Amino acid sequence: MDLKMTPQGYLIYTTMATYAVAFILTVSKKAKAGLQLFALGFVISIIAFVYRWIHVSHCPMQNLFEVFLTLAMLCYPISMLSRRFLKIAGHAGDMAIGMILLLPAGFVFHAEPLHLPPALQSPLFIPHVAVYMISYVIMFKATICAFSQLLNRRAEPGTLEPEKATYIIVCLGFPFLTLGLILGSVWGKMAWSDYWGWDPKELWSLASWLVYIGYFHARYMFGQKHAKLNSILAITGMVFIIITLLWVNLSRMFSGLHNYAN
């Protein structure tokens, strides 16, 4: 365990505590106070992100510590936009996601600042990683909806029922996932001479993308007839994403060009 007794660490732990209290308040039917604390947690997470950016002198999306810091920051805006425009419930779930995403940053990964290696000094660095981060948080939210569907949970009044909510969130996240894959491919051509290098991380990200393609085709074919199958496919997509994000970088089984993210 890597406990961080630094200003960066304190910012992370404060965000986590704020998200945790917000979660407890929300599930105890104090939704308004919960939302206010969620917003406060978001502000602190932005401070943590900006502090890191200044500390390392580049956009903090280089290694897994920074990636999780970024992911946790995205929970609040995605939660709010989903509620406002897509009628999707689940603030409590989003607060929980934020807290879970900060666990690796707070306690697992080292925060030692690193210079950007030559391969990462590209105008595509920020867009490629950022759209992936956005899509991952959205797909995480879709997974929670898919679990709600599998557990036969009912929707709150005025919000979408879980199967439709899952579909609509996957629809929101999938273009980001596609853009991430394509920007990575264009970057690969610029940096490594080929738009596709058959690198393990590339192949796992292609596999995650294909799972969602399968989800769309299956849902087109069967509609909501096999709602559980739809949910299982959405959850499988997230499992593949987690493998793409973590296993490929943490396991020696998949050594490849993306190893600097370690």
Partner 1 sequence: MPNIKRQVLWATLVLIFLLTVFSVYGAFLGANRAQVFFNSIPLAICWSLFLVLLVAGGLVFQRLIRVPALLLIHTGCIAILIGGLWGSSKGQEIRKKVFKCDIIGSGYVMLYPGQQTSQIQVGEGKDMQIKNLPFVVAVDDFRIEHYNPGKLFIGVPGTENQWSMTADPNSQLDFGNKFGAVKVVRFFENLQITKKLFITVPGTPQEWSMSVAPNTQLDLGETLGSVKVLRAFKNFRITVGGEGGSQAYEAPGPGTNAALEILLIPPRGEQPTKHYIFEMRAGHANKDSPLSFEYKQATDNTGENLAYDDVGSGDNAAVELLVTAPSGGPATPRYVFEQQPSHAQQGSPLAFQYRRTISDYISDVKILKKTDDKKAVTQKAVEVNHPLYYGGYHFYQSSYGQDPRGSGQMYTVLSVTNSTGLGWVFTGFLLMCLGIAWQCWVLDIRKVLRQEAL
For residue 146, the minimal CB distance to partner 1 (Å) is 15
Of 17, 20, 46, 207, which one interacts with partner 1 (CB under 8 A)? Answer: 207
For residue 47, the minimal CB distance to partner 1 (Å) is 23
Q: Which of 101, 96, 7 is nearest to 48 (CA)?
A: 7
Of 126, 217, 224, 260, which one interacts with partner 1 (CB under 8 A)? Answer: 217
Helical packing angle, 125-150 and 64-86, nearest 10°: 60
* Tokens of residue 187, six digits: 């970057």
Q: Could you give the string, one character per residue 221-240, with x where binding to partner 1 holds by CB under 8 A and - elsewhere?
A: x-------------------
Rg (CA), the chain: 18
Q: Which of 150, 151, 169 is nearest to 159 (CA)?
A: 169
Of 28, 43, 110, 214, which one interacts with partner 1 (CB under 8 A)? Answer: 214
CB-nearer residue toward partner 1: 6 or 28: 6
What is the four-CA torsion angle of 226, 144, 133, 52, rounded to 10 degrees? -170
Q: Using an 8 Å Cβ cutoff, are 219 and 230 in contact?
A: yes
CB-nearer residue toward partner 1: 80 or 179: 179
Q: Which of 115, 19, 8 is nearest to 52 (CA)?
A: 8
Of 65, 133, 200, 235, which one interacts with partner 1 (CB under 8 A)? Answer: 200
Indicate whether 87 belongs to the interface with partner 1 (CB under 8 A): yes
Q: For residue 74, what is the enclosing H or E element?
A: helix 64-86
Indicate whether 254 belongs to the interface with partner 1 (CB under 8 A): yes
115 secondary structure, DSSP code: P
Indicate whether 186 belongs to the interface with partner 1 (CB under 8 A): yes
Residues that bind partner 1 (CB under 8 A): 86-87, 114-119, 121-122, 160, 164, 167-168, 171-172, 174-175, 178-179, 182, 185-187, 189-201, 203-204, 206-207, 210-211, 213-214, 217-218, 220-221, 248, 253-257
